Structures are given as structure tokens and as C-alpha cells.
């Protein structure tokens, strides 16, 4: 499918330089950039991506149990300054 897009002179120069640096056609660079941007925008929420893994790992807590105490200590130190 063809689309018509207008570029500023600066964008055109950037496109030419980037395509040359990557050794790809300008069309390929544009297609790849559109793929990357659209997938980033349409990426599912983190909770949905992690859903299959949540609750699968058993842990004794380790250092994570002490993170709340450490965080409170840092906040108190900052407040006292």
C-alpha cells in the first residue's frame, strides 16, 4: 500500500543520512520506524504482560522485606537535612 507523506527539508536530510548510515533504503527505514512507534503506542499494559508470571515465583522475601525500613530511613535522613 502506498501513502503520501510530506517532510520538512530537515526531516528529509535526516532520513537520507540515517538510511545511508544504516545501509538501508529510506522506505525500509520509514517502515521500521512506523512499526517501532506503533508497537510502542499499542503495547499492552505492564500488568497484562506480567499476568502469566505473577504469583509463579515463590520467595522467602529476603532483602525485599527490609526495603520498607530502608526507604523510611532514607526519607527521615532527607527530612533532617
Q: Nine-digit cell at 73? A: 530511613
| Contacts of residue 28, Cβ cutoff 8 Å, sequence gap at least 6 | 19
What does the mean pLDDT of the chain come to? 88
**What is the model's pTM?**
0.56
List, for residues 45-64, the tens digit of each pLDDT value.
888 888 888 877 777 666 66
Q: Nine-digit cell at 34? A: 512506523
> What is the dihedral sign for C-alpha 35, 29, 8, 3?
negative
Cα three-residue angle 7-12-18, rounded to 5 degrees: 135
CA atoms of 52 and 78, how far apart (whole Å): 38
Amino acid at each position: 500500500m502506498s501513502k503520501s507523506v510530506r517532510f520538512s527539508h530537515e526531516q528529509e536530510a535526516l532520513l537520507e543520512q540515517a538510511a545511508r548510515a544504516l545501509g538501508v533504503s529510506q522506505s525500509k527505514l520509514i517502515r521500521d520506524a512506523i512499526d517501532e512507534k506503533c508497537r510502542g503506542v499499542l503495547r499492552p499494559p505492564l500488568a497484562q504482560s506480567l499476568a502469566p508470571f505473577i504469583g509463579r515465583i515463590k520467595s522467602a522475601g529476603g532483602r525485599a522485606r527490609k526495603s520498607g525500613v530502608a526507604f523510611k530511613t532514607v526519607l527521615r535522613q532527607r527530612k533532617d537535612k
